[in-house]
Amino acid sequence: MIRYCCDLCHRELDPEEDLRYVVKMEVYAAFDPVVADEESDERNHLQEIQDILEQLEEDDGDQIGTDVYRQLRFDLCPDCHKKFVKNPLGRDGAQLFNFSQN
């Protein structure tokens, strides 16, 4: 039997009694089209590609991948689902703390 728990509050969810919500997110780098100009015609494109490939060999390839594209999946209980839908980006997080006005 598969066991599920809410990824926010960590409450265990009973598949027969609890409604479970699945949140899927894709985060990827947005690349704007490059406008060609006269200066770009003089560039050595093959050398630029070679430089990029050499840099990839030196760097951690997994880190580069997560910087460009990431796919996430979360299970939520009904209460956390309501909170998530109201504030999916967590903008109101600072308001959850009741700081005094000193």
User: What ranges do the domains of the chain cover?
Assistant: 4-33+42-88
Q: How far apart are CA 98 and CA 101, in angstroms?
A: 9
Q: What is this structure's pTM?
A: 0.60
Q: Write the CA distances from 28 to 9, 16, 19, 53, integer angstroms.
A: 27, 36, 30, 21
Assign 12 to helix, strand or coil.
strand
Query: Which structure tokens are listed for 46?
Result: 């093959």
84 C-beta neighbours (distance < 10 Å), count: 16
What is the predicted pLDDT for the residue at 29? 86
Q: Render each residue's pLDDT in the chain as its tens digit; 102 residues.
A: 788 999 999 999 988 888 999 999 999 888 777 666 655 567 787 888 888 777 777 766 555 667 788 999 999 999 999 999 999 988 876 555 556 666
- Determine the 3-state secondary structure of 50 from DSSP: helix
Structure tokens at 26: 């894709």
